[in-house]
Amino acid sequence: MLRRARPGTERRRGAAVDDGAYQLVLRWSEQIDCVRTAGQARRERADGYRFVLPLDGELTLAQDGREARLRPGTGGLVTLAEPFRISLASGTGPTAAARARDTGRRGAPARALVMTIPAREMDRRLRRPSPVATGLDLSSGLGRVVADMVRAVGEERRALSAAQFDAACDRITELLCVIVAGRQRPAAPGHLAEVEAVVRRYVREHATEPGLTGAAVAQDLGWSLRQVQLALQHAGTTPRELIREERLRLVRDRLRNPQDRDVTITDIAHATGFSSASALSTAFRRRFGVSPRELRHTAH
């Protein structure tokens, strides 16, 4: 088992134990049968999701009365708050056959990437607890982009710092939420989808500007404020929430950056568009569950 997680997590018989952080695990075996019982779900009260991405073999995923058989090119999402079962059988096909010849075994070990996502990261974006999602198409379009990103992070895990790993997982989660949300509502009209994409890119590029507001974004992009609000409303957010989220991510990255260790939190607040250290601290604690000072102390 290969794993990349923030310090503080532990291994038990090869299993990653959730500490509220992102985790990425590669599981392989000729046969895996992972069961989370109702009793375990009640006792442990885990708060998060598992995104499962089969690489070789066939994976059976069951939760909430639903069952799906997943092969490479598909994926599934389950919640840790409810019982589930994940079964992974030996791989088949040309790639698996080649690996079987290399290992000298009759059946190539089945492999799957399992990403643990804190509940707050998905629930906040979807504005509700995520539904169980099985049979996600990861063979083309945005699904393929997500699958490629997960595989790339898994391959580069040893070269990534904790901050880089979390940043990559943030982007994966954001895109995964777009896929999950798209299954629950009609597709956005083409124009609204374009407006949303452009607005998100603009906010990321200008998040540090103190005067950034929804009205300012709309004016600079040549759209009405109503157009911007409608596009983001369809995506489950508002201009104000989007701007705050991008600023808080910038603050978190700077607090973890050793080069900014001597920069005061007040200076970071002003540099990222917050009116004061107090306003930053309130928003930061509400978003991440710790104060900026506490996160900096933990990171360093």
Are 156 and 35 within one domain?
Answer: yes
Tokens of 96: 């698996």
178 and 200: one domain?
A: no
Say if residue 246 is in the same domain as residue 163: no
Number of domains in the chain: 2
Which of the listed residues 155, 184, 213 is the one where a domain comes to its end? 184
197 and 61 together in one domain: no
**Is 84 in the same domain as 126?**
yes
Report pLDDT digits (tens) over 55-80.
888 878 888 777 778 888 988 888 88
Cβ–Cβ < 8 Å for 134, 84: no
CATH number of the domain residue 253 falls in: 1.10.10.60
* Cross-strand pairs, 188: none
Where residue 143 sits, what CATH number does that domain have? Answer: 2.60.120.280
Picking from 121, 149, 184, the residue at the C-terminal end of a domain is: 184
Same domain, 52 and 126: yes
Domain assignment of residue 256, given as a range: 190-299
Question: What integer pLDDT is reported at residue 83 of this predicted model?
Answer: 83
> Per-residue pLDDT averaged across 180-192, rounded?
62
From residue 49, give the alpha-carbon distance in Å to each of 33, 118, 164: 18, 6, 21
* 250 burial level (CB within 10 Å; 0-12, 13-18, 19+): middle
- Alpha carbon 90 to chain centroid, angstroms: 28
Name, of 29-38, 82-91, 269-278, the range with top average pLDDT: 269-278
pTM assigned to the model: 0.60
The backbone torsions φ and ψ at residue 23, rounded to the nearest 5 degrees and listed phi first, read -140, 150
Instruction: Dig out the tokens for 222 from the structure.
Output: 């040549």
Asked if 160 and 19 sit in the same domain, the reply is yes
| pLDDT (average), residues 172-182 | 83
Q: How many CB atoms lie within 10 A of CB 129?
A: 11
**Among 132, 156, 184, where does a domain finish?**
184
**21 and 166 share one domain:** yes
Q: What is the pLDDT of residue 93?
A: 44
| pLDDT band, residue 14 (cuts 50/70/90) | very low
Give the pLDDT score at 272.
93
Query: Is 138 found in the same domain as 84?
Result: yes
Instruction: Give the closest residue to 193 by CA, choosing from 241, 231, 150.
Output: 231
* In contact, 74 and 137? CB cutoff 8 Å: yes
Q: 158 with 194, same domain?
A: no
Q: What's residue 280's pLDDT? A: 94
pLDDT digits (tens, 9 = 90+) for 103-160: 444 455 678 888 999 888 888 777 665 556 667 888 888 899 999 999 999 999 889 8
